[in-house]
Chain A
Amino acid sequence: MKNEIKIMLDKQSEWQKNRAKLSWSEKLDQSLVLRATCIELRKGYDVHTHASVVAEARDEYEAGKLVK
Chain B
Amino acid sequence: MKEVAKLLNSMVEKNIISDYAVFGAVAQMRYTEAVATMDADILVSISSEGDLVLITPIYDFCASLGYLPEGDAIRVGDWPVQFVPSFNPLTDEAMLTAEYTEIDSVAIRVVRADYLAVIALSVGRNKDFLRILSLIDSGVITHKEICMLAGKHGLSDAWNNFNLRFINEK
Residues of A within 8 A of B (CB): 15-16, 19, 22, 24-25, 27-28, 30-32, 34-35, 37-38, 45, 47-51, 53
A24 B130 Cβ-Cβ under 8 A: no
B29 A34 Cβ-Cβ under 8 A: no
Nearest 4 A/B pairs, CB to CB = A30-B34, A34-B36, A27-B34, A31-B34
Nearest CB of A to B146, in Å: 20
B168 interfacial contact with A, CB 8 Å: no
CA gap between A34 and B29 in the complex, in Å: 13
Q: Mark B109-125, 1 if CB is under 8 A from A, else 0.
A: 00000000000000000
Q: Which of A38, A47, A50 is the one whose CB lies under 8 Å from B34?
A: A50
CA gap between A54 and B165 in the complex, in Å: 27
With contacts A31-B29, A32-B78, A48-B130 taken as known, whether A25 is within 8 angstroms of B34 at the C-beta atoms is: no
Nearest CB of B to A30, in Å: 4
Task: Tell me the dominant secondary structure on chain A's binding face.
Answer: helix
With contacts A25-B1, A25-B103 taken as known, whether A31 is within 8 angstroms of B38 at the C-beta atoms is: no
A28 B29 Cβ-Cβ under 8 A: yes
Chain B residues within 8 Å of chain A by Cβ, number: 19
With contacts A25-B104, A28-B29 taken as known, whether A49 is within 8 angstroms of B37 at the C-beta atoms is: no
Residue of A nearest to B127 (CB): A48
10 contacts between A and B (CB under 8 A): A16-B33, A24-B30, A25-B1, A27-B34, A28-B26, A28-B29, A31-B25, A31-B35, A37-B36, A49-B130
Q: Mark B32-53, 1 if CB is under 8 A from A, else 0.
A: 0111111000000000000000
